[in-house]
Structure 1
Amino acid sequence: MVKLPTWADVILVPLISLLLAAIFSAIVLLAIGQSPMEAMKVMVEGAVGSPYAWGYTLYYATSFMFTGLAVTVAFHGSLFNIGGEGQAQLGGLGVALVCLSINWPHWALALPAAMIGAALFGAAWAAIPAYLQAKRGSHIVITTIMFNYIAAALMIHILVNVLRPAGQMDPASANFPEGTNLPTLHEIPGLSLIFTKQVPANVTFFIALICAYLVWVLLWRTRLGYEIRAFGKSEKAAAYAGISSFKIIMVAMLISGALSGLMAINNVMGESGRLLQNASEGAGFIGIAVALMGRNHPVGVILAAILFGFLFQGGAELGLWTSIPIELRTVVQGLVILFTGALDQMVRMMLGFVFRPSLAKGAA
C-alpha cells in the first residue's frame, strides 16, 4: 500500500472517514422517514449553538479525553487496553473514598487528594491484567474486557452493602461534603462572562488538557516514552536494545489505568457530587474510538473527544426535540468508529491511488 503524505494521513483520512459516516447516517435517517437536514440542525444547535450547549459538549468531551489518552498511552506500547470502563469505575470509588473521608474545607484541597485516589485506584485495576500479560502471557484484550464486568459487579456490591447510607433505596454513596464541589465554567472569573448559565463542564476540563500535554511530553520527549514507542514498534528489537518488556507493559498499563481513573473527577466529583452505579457513563469504550480517530496523538485525542462530545450532546437533543429515537446517537457513533477504525485502511487505499502518481514522480 502506498504511504500517504503526513498531512493526508493526519487530516484528510479522518475527514473523509467522517464524511462517509455522515453520508451513511443520512441514509439511515432517510430509511426511517426522517430528515437528515433537520437532524443536523438540531444536533448543531443543541451541541455547539450556544455557550450553554458548549458547556454540556465540553463536559462529555472532558471524560472522553481522559479515556482516549489512556488508550493512546497503552497503544504506543502495543497494548490494546479495553478496560477503561472498569478502570474509570474504580477511579470513581477512589474519588468517593477520598471525598467522604473528611469534611473538606475547600475544593482546592480536595481536588489533588481526589486525583491521587482516582489515579491510584484506576492504575491498581489495570495492574492485574498488565501483570498477567507480562508474566503469564494472558492477552491484554481478553483480561481487560473481563475486568470491566468484574468492576461493574464489585461496584454494585460496594454501593449496596458498604457505601449506601441507611434508609436510602438507590445504590449510591452519600453526597460529598460541600467543600468538594468543583467550580463549573460559569463560576470561573472571565469564563463566567461567556457561560452565563449553570453548566456541568468544570475545572476538570483544564486538567484533561494538562494531561494531554503531559502525555505528549512523556511519549515524545522522555526516555521512557521512547522505550514505550520502541517496544510498541518491535518487541524483539526493544529487547535487543535492553528494554525490559515487563517494565514497559507494567508502566504503560499503570499510566493508562491512572488516566482512565482520573476521568471520575469530572463526573463523580464535578457533576454528580456522589458515587453512582454507572460512574463511567460509557466513556471507557468511547475512549477507544477517540484514540483511533485521534491517531493516538494527544492533539488528535482532544479534537476527537470534542467531536464525540458533540455527538453525545447532539444525540441527546435529538431525543428531546424530535421524533428521531435517541438510539440513533449510538448508530452515528458506531458509524464513526466503523469508518475511522475498521474501514480506515479502505480510505487509505482509495487515497493511495490518488497520491500514487505524485509520489512516484517525487521518487523519480
Structure 2
Amino acid sequence: MNARLYRMLRLQELGPTVGVLLLSFVVGGLVLAVAGYNPFEAYGALARGSFGSLDAIANTLAKSTPLLFTGLAVAIAFRGGLFNIGAEGQLHLGALTAALAGVYFHGLPGFLHIAIAMILAGVAGALWSSIAGWMKVRWNAHEVIVTIMLNYIAISLTDYLVNYTFKAEGMVPRTEEIAQSATLLQLLPHSQWTIGFLFALAGAAVAYWFLQRTVAGYEIRAVGLNAGAARTGGVSVGRRIVLAMLVSGAFAGLAGAVEVLGVHHYFVKGLSPGYGFDGIAVAVLARNHPLGVILSAILFGALRSGSMLLDRTTDVPGDFVIIIQALVILFVAIPWLFRHLRLKKRGDAR
C-alpha cells in the first residue's frame, strides 16, 4: 500500500512538470507567430536537429552531459536550502584543473589519468563552492550574492591563467592539448558523445543514493526543509550547509572536466556557453530530483543541439531556445510565488 501511494505521489509530481513543458512550448510558439515566424517550421527544425539522426542524437547527449552535472550541482544545493548560482565559476576552475592534469601528468595508464583529472576537477569545484558555504555559516552571507561574485573571480582568474601562465603557442588563449591517455572514449565515432555521459548518469545515481540513503543526505534535506527544526533535532546545520555546497561544487567541477577531457582536449577561454547557468533551469524543471535531472538535462541538451539546425535552415534565431528555457523557469516559479504570497498573507492576517 505504501509503495502504491508513493507511486501515486510521484505521478502527481510528474503531471505539473509535463504541463509546464507543454505550456512553455505553446507560449513559445505564440511568441514566434507574433514575431512573424512559422512555429511549426521552427519546432520541426528543433526536432530534426536534436533527434532526427544518429549523429543528432549523439550531439544531443553530448550537449546534455555538462548540463547533467551542473543540474545535479544546483539540485543538491537546492535540497539543502541553498541557491548555488556559482556553478559557472566552479565549472571553469574544474575545467582548467582537469586540463592541467591532462597536460602535465605523464606516463599514467588511461583509466588512472582520467580518474585523477576528474577527481582534481571535482575537488577544485568543491573547494571554490565551499567558500560560499563557509561565509553563509560564519557571517550569514547570502550564498546568491557570494556565488555571483565568485563566478566573476573564477572566470577572470582562469582567463588570466590561460592568457599568460599556461598559454600554448599561438593566438588563441588556451592551454596545451591534454595527453591521449586523459582523453575520454567516444561512444560514437567522430562525435562529441563520450563516456563522460555515462559518468554523468553514474553521478545522478550517486547523488540520489547520497540524498536518499545516507545520514548526511537526510540531514541536508532536513536543513533545506526547515533549518530550525533540523537544529532542534540535533543536526549540525552549519556543517550540512558547507557539505551541501562542497558536493554541489564538486559536480559543477566535473562538468568542466568532461568538456575538457571529452570535447575540447584543452582549456580555452570561453569554454562554457553558460552550462552553469543552464543548470539552474535543468534543476528547476526536475524539481531538484537527481533522477529527474537526467531527463531535464536531455531536454535542454536537445534544445541546444537543435538550435544549430534551427539557425541554419530557418529565419528563426538559434537563441530562441533561451526563450523556451526562460518560460520553463517562469511557469515553474509562478505557482511557488503565489503559494508564498498566500502564506505570507495568512501570516500577516494573524
The alignment's TM-score, normalised by the length of structure 1, stands at 0.88
Matched, 1:50 2:53: yes
Structure 1 residues 134 and 322: alpha-carbon distance in aligned structure 2, compared to 1, 3 A threshold: same
Instruction: Write the distance in 2 (CA, Å) between the matches of 1:274 and 1:198.
Output: 18
**Which residue number corresponds to residue 234 of structure 1?**
226
Structure 1 residues 306 and 348: alpha-carbon distance in aligned structure 2, compared to 1, 3 A threshold: farther
Gaps of 5+ in 2: 1-7, 341-350
**Which residue number corresponds to residue 343 of structure 1?**
334
**Which residue number corresponds to residue 173 of structure 2?**
171
Instruction: Write the distance in 1 (CA, Å) between the matches of 2:322 and 2:92.
Output: 21
* CA offsets 1:144-175 (integer angstroms, 9 cap, x no match): 0111111111111101111102x421111111
Matched, 1:23 2:49: no
Residue pairs, 1:1-364, within 5 angstroms: 6-7=9-10, 9-165=12-168, 167-186=169-188, 197-340=189-332, 342-345=333-336
Structure 1 residues 344 and 198: alpha-carbon distance in aligned structure 2, compared to 1, 3 A threshold: farther
- Whether the 8 Å contact between 1:130 and 1:140 is mirrored in structure 2 is yes
Instruction: Write the distance in 2 (CA, Å) between the matches of 1:75 and 1:214.
Output: 17
Instruction: Write the distance in 2 (CA, Å) between the matches of 1:257 and 1:41.
Output: 37
Instruction: Write the distance in 2 (CA, Å) between the matches of 1:263 and 1:172.
Output: 18
Give the match's secondary structure for 1:163.
coil
Instruction: Write the distance in 2 (CA, Å) between the matches of 1:109 and 1:59.
Output: 23
* CA offsets 1:232-271 (integer angstroms, 9 cap, x no match): 1111111111211221011110000000000012211100
Equivalent pairs: percent with the same residue?
A: 38
Structure 1 residues 51 and 36: alpha-carbon distance in aligned structure 2, compared to 1, 3 A threshold: same
The alignment's TM-score, normalised by the length of structure 2, stands at 0.91
Amino acid paired to 2:85:
I
Structure 1 residues 287 and 178: alpha-carbon distance in aligned structure 2, compared to 1, 3 A threshold: same
Give the match's secondary structure for 1:343.
helix
Give the match's secondary structure for 2:164.
helix
> What displacement does 1:201 show?
1.0
> What displacement does 1:105 show?
5.0
Amino acid paired to 1:184:
Q
Give the match's secondary structure for 1:162.
coil
Instruction: Write the distance in 2 (CA, Å) between the matches of 1:236 and 1:104.
Output: 52
Q: Mean alpha-carbon deviation: is it higher for 220-229 or for 31-40?
A: 31-40
Q: Mean alpha-carbon deviation: is it higher for 81-90 or for 21-30?
A: 21-30
- Whether the 8 Å contact between 2:114 and 2:181 is mirrored in structure 1 is no
Instruction: Write the distance in 1 (CA, Å) between the matches of 2:112 and 2:276.
Output: 27
Amino acid paired to 1:246:
G
> What displacement does 1:7 show?
4.1
Give the match's secondary structure for 2:106.
coil
Amino acid paired to 1:328:
F
Give the match's secondary structure for 1:184.
coil
- Whether the 8 Å contact between 2:69 and 2:252 is mirrored in structure 1 is yes
> What displacement does 1:280 show?
3.0
Amino acid paired to 1:15:
V
Amino acid paired to 2:314:
T
Instruction: Write the distance in 2 (CA, Å) between the matches of 1:93 and 1:247.
Output: 28
Instruction: Write the distance in 2 (CA, Å) between the matches of 1:94 and 1:15.
Output: 38
Across the two proteins, how many residue pairs are aligned to each other? 333
